[in-house]
Amino acid sequence: MRKVLFCLAVVLACSGQLCLPNLTPTDGSATVKTATLTHSGFDFSEDAGGSPTTGDVENSDGEIIGWSPAPTVWDNGDGNSVWWRSDENTETTNYTKDMGEVTLASVTSVPTEWDGTTDASLPPLQVGHVYVVKCLDGYAKFLVKAVRVDPAWEADVDYVYTSGSSF
């Protein structure tokens, strides 16, 4: 009800002009979606993932892999680990940030610093941790609920996507 009244007040304040504000919530109440991230890629803005049967997803923001992604120091873990590899990674920056064991709603903004460097390995995804990742057209935050390496590299997540700098 509060959001409806807010929207009505904003539209009335526009004095009859077409004036539609960005109504993406920034108070942590954005719609949480569920996905299985795979090696075939995932597009957070489109809520679309690839699979072995459908192939790689078009405009993928990244994928799940079984080793730490470049530009970090290579590590393949213990054989039971998976990592997110952002398609936005550069030669010097890995656009993944482990926010720790926190609630998804508690992460409200995009970090200014990222994990993993050319001098250190990026730790694998951990169940119960929230991550922020850079996408092709924005950012996503996700809570890891499960990881699998067999029969394929996968991570079950709850996530929120934003095209801005806050969630």
The full set of domain ranges for the chain reads 23-162
Q: Which residue has the tokens 């936005």?
A: 88
pTM of the complete model beyond 0.85 = no
Residue 147 DSSP SS3: strand
Q: How far, CA to CA in Å, does 109 sit from each of 3, 131, 146, 148, 151?
A: 21, 12, 24, 28, 35
- What residues have CB less than 8 Å from 112, skipping those under 6 apart? none
The pLDDT tens digits along the chain (167 residues) read 444 333 333 333 333 333 333 334 444 457 999 999 999 999 999 999 988 778 888 899 999 999 999 999 988 888 899 999 999 999 999 999 999 999 999 999 999 999 988 998 899 999 999 999 999 999 999 999 999 999 899 999 999 999 999 99
How far apart, in Å, do the first and last CA atoms of the chain sit? 21
